[in-house]
Amino acid sequence: MNPSAQGHLSRRSVVVLLALSVVFLWAYWPSLLEVVRRWSVDPTYSHGYFVPVLAALILWARRDHLDTGRLKPNWWGLMLVVSGTVVRLASAYFAVYSPDRFSMILVLAGLCVGLGGWHAFRWAWPGIAFLLFMIPLPAGFDRLLAAPLQRITTVVSANVLQTLGFVAEPEGNVLLLGRGDLGVVEACSGLRMFITFCALATALAVLGRRSVAQRLVIVASAFPLAILCNVARITATGVVHETFGPGPAQVIFHDVAGWLMIVLALILLLVELKVLSHLFIPAEAEASPALLGQVRANHPQRTQRPAEVNTPVAASL
């Protein structure tokens, strides 16, 4: 976008935006307080404090996509706001509060379209959609996700411990070890790590200048990374349990392993980004001949065609 083509928001637009923001906060203040309370009491959603900050960074990183001169109010925004309001009223009527929290995302999208039109929405939708990570899952849905994660973690950890020479048998969500049992309870299923890494991988995918294929790979990698790190946590606990006893194992499991696994996952994610940068030509290089030439110079093995080999025809005897 040509910077000279950018306009400026009028004073009236700024006043309207601030007024609608105040109304939005006033209307959803009880819901927002409940969401923040879940962040503070439920470790699965403790990452929620960082989600609004990352959403703001996403919008800032996409500022080149916004041309304030093309912002025009659109009545479709009112339809989205009304739809979100209907969802909220239905949530209150039926005393089912999860839809109420998700309705705020629909209302935010409606305000965006109503104030700036579809051009504003095309700029803001990644940041608005990213706010979904700050909202706790509906009651029962988190347990539905935790159950298969528990089972996968238990079975894979047992196989890894057996490979390392330890006695380990999976029985349900319990590891039967030589010196006792190690239960993989719901809190240890890896759901917290899975949700956190989904949010982190999505933020990195959106913030980075990468192709759509690379972004999909980065987001999809959150699940195997979460499984791998949680398996490493359970396996390390099992090794300590069998080597030093259950006391040190509990210290490792509850106090140390959680933080170490987050560091491990971040390292793995950074390695993945590095590998992807070598496997794919950067997305901006496709539109820039000069940058494409630089990529070819830096990575000739990725862009050079094999030279033709002139093989003389053997003379017939």
In this predicted model, what pLDDT tens digit does every residue of 195-230 receive, in sequence order?
A: 888 898 898 888 878 888 888 999 999 888 888 888
Contact 199, 274 (CB under 8 A): no
Looking at residue 256, its pLDDT comes to 61
Q: What is the Cα–Cα distance from 270 to 75, expressed in whole angstroms?
A: 43
In the chain, which stretches have pLDDT less than 70?
1-10, 185-189, 251-259, 281-317
HEC assignment per residue over the chain = CCHHHCCCCCHHHHHHHHHHHHHHHHHHHHHHHHHHHHHHHCHHHHHHHHHHHHHHHHHHHCHHHCCHHHCCCCCHHHHHHHHHHHHHHHHHHCCCCHHHHHHHHHHHHHHHHHHHHHHHHHHHHHHHHHHHHHCCCCCCHHHHHHHHHHHHHHHHHHHHHHHCCCCEEEECCEEEECCEEEECCHHHCCHHHHHHHHHHHHHHHHHCCCCHHHHHHHHHCHHHHHHHHHHHHHHHHHHHHHHHCHHHHHHHHHHHHHHHHHHHHHHHHHHHHHHHHHHCCCHHHHCCHHHHHHHHHHCHHHHCCCCCCCCCCCCCC
Looking at residue 51, its pLDDT comes to 94
